[in-house]
Structure 1
Amino acid sequence: MKKWIAILLFIPLLSEAQSKRKLRIAEVKETTAIITNLKKHVQFLASDALEGRRTGSKGEILAMEYIIDQYKQMGLTPKGVNGFMQEFEINEGKQIDANNHLKIEGKSLHLVDDYFPLAFSALKTVKGNTAAALNEANLPWFKDLAELLEENKTNPHFDTIVLPW
C-alpha cells in the first residue's frame, strides 16, 4: 500500500518535469527562430547587393522596399501621408556657411569648384604657411583630392569624412 501511495505522489512530479522540459524546448525553438529570422534580415540589408544604402542610391531604394514588404507581411498599418515612407531631411556632413572662403597667396578660391571644407574643418580663421605634405596641429593644411575623388566617383561606399590619409 505504501508503494502505491509513493507512486501516486511521484506521478505529478514526473508530469511537472515533463511540462518544464517541453516549455524549455519550445523556448529554445522560438529563440532559434527569432535569431534565424534576424540574421536573414541583417544579411540582406548589409549585403553588397544594396551598395551601401547611401541616401538616394539604388541600394537605399531596395532596402526601403524590403523593409516596407516586411511591414506589410507583419500586418502593420502605415501611418502618415505617404504610406510607410516618411520624408525627412538628412544633412550629410558639414553645413557650409556662405561666408566660407579660402585665399592662397591673396587669390580667392571658389567654394566647391576649387575647394571644399571637410566635415571636421575648424570654424575659424587660420593664417600660416603650409605644404601639401604637412598636417601640423594648429596650422592650415590641404590635400589634393582630385585624383581620389575621380577614382571613387562611382563608389557608393566612398566618403570624404573617412579619407585614407
Structure 2
Amino acid sequence: MKMNYGIVFLFLLFLAGCKPEVDKPVSIKEDVVFLSDDTLEGRQTGTDGEKAAAEYIAERFKNLGLEGKGTNNYLQPFTFKPKTNPHQKVNYNVVKGDSTITGINVLGYLNNNAKTTIVIGAHYDHLGYGAEGSLHRGEKAIHNGADDNASGVAVMLNLAEKLKEKNTNNNYLFMAFSGEEMGLLGSNYFVKNPTTDIKKINYMINMDMVGRLKADSTLAVYGVGTSPILKQTLRAHNDSFKLIQKESGIGPSDHTSFYNADIPVLHFFTGQHEDYHKPSDDFEKLNYQGMNTISNYIFEVISDLDNNGKLPFRKTKNESEDVPRFKVGLGVIPDYLFDGKGMRIDGISEEKPAQKAGLQKGDIVVKLGDTAVVDMMSYMKVLATFEKGDTTKVIVDRNGELVEAKIEF
C-alpha cells in the first residue's frame, strides 16, 4: 500500500529541513508538532500515517548518531491479527491477507560497550480517525494524540540527545512502540522477540502522556516498588514536582510488558484531561516548559543510578486487581493525581449523569449516596454498588462550598 501524497509531502519537507543542520538540536515542541500533524491522520497502527511517523523517528535516531537495533535497521515490524474479544491472546506472525495488521517498533541504540542496557521508551501510535478507545461522540475526525503520545516520544528523543557521551556505565536502547492503543502489542512483541539480550536490560523507563504538567506541577511515577533504590533516588532529585509515587509495575502502558519480564520499571505520567482520546488533543495545549523539566528530572535520575550496577528486581502488588467492576458511571474524567480528600473531577462527558446533574470540572466529590468519598478507591467502591436506573444524591466541594445534586444513572 502506497502512502498518500499529503504524508509523503510532509515527510519530504521534514527531511529537507533537518538534513542541512544535522548538528542543530530539534526541540521537544518541533517533534510534537510533526508527530501530531493532521497529515499523519492520527498514527493508527498499520496505517500510512504510522509508517510516516516511524520513518520520522528512525531519521531522528540516525541524526542523533544512534545505531539501528531493529530487525530491519531501525525498524522492527510485526504482523498480527487483531483480537475479536478482550480475553483473546494476540496472534503474531499470521498469514498475510487474513485481516492482518503490521505494526512497526522503532529502535535506536547508544552503544557504550557496557554490560547492561537501559530501555527508554514511549509509544507513538494513536487512534487514527477514532479507533476503539475513542471518547469522541461527534463526526469522524482525526485524533492527533499530541499528549498521547507524541509528548512521550518527544521527551524520549530529548533524552537521547542528552545522554550522548554521558552516563556511560550503561548502553541505551531508545524505543518507540507501535500498537500500544490496541493492547501494548509492540512492547509485548519486543519482549518476546528481543533484538538485544533481555537478561542484560538493567531497567526500563516509560513515558506516556507527559505533556500536560498542571499548575501544581503534579507528576505521577509508577513502578517505584520494582527495585528498592528507586523511591529514594526519585525523591533525592525532586525540586520541581508535587511527586506522586505508585508502587505497582503494572498499568495501562508499555512498562507493563517489561515488568512482566522481571525488569524494574519507571513510568512517568502528568495525568488525564478533557482531551484524552479525543480529536482536541492537539499540540497547542501542551506544556513544553513542563516537558523540558520532566526530561531534565529523568536525566538526573539516570545519572544518579549510573554507578549502581544492575538494579535488583522486586515484584509489586497489582493495584488494578483491587479495582471494583462498574455497571454504571457518572460520566466524568477523574483527576487521578489529586491527593486531597475526595475525588476531583477533571472533565465532564456530554449527556451523561454528571453533566445532567450540573456537576462541573474542578468539583470534588465528597459523598455519593450515603457513603463518604475520601479518595479514588472509596469512590470506585461506592460507584460499583449502583445499577442502571438507580437515583441517588451526590455532594461536591465547589471552591470550598458544599453543593448537593441528584444523580440518575
- Do Structure 1 and Structure 2 share a fold, with TM-score over 0.5? no
Q: Is the helix fraction higher in 1 or 2? A: 1
Normalised-by-shorter TM-score class: 0.3 to 0.5
Q: TM-score, normalised by structure 2?
A: 0.16
Larger radius of gyration: 1
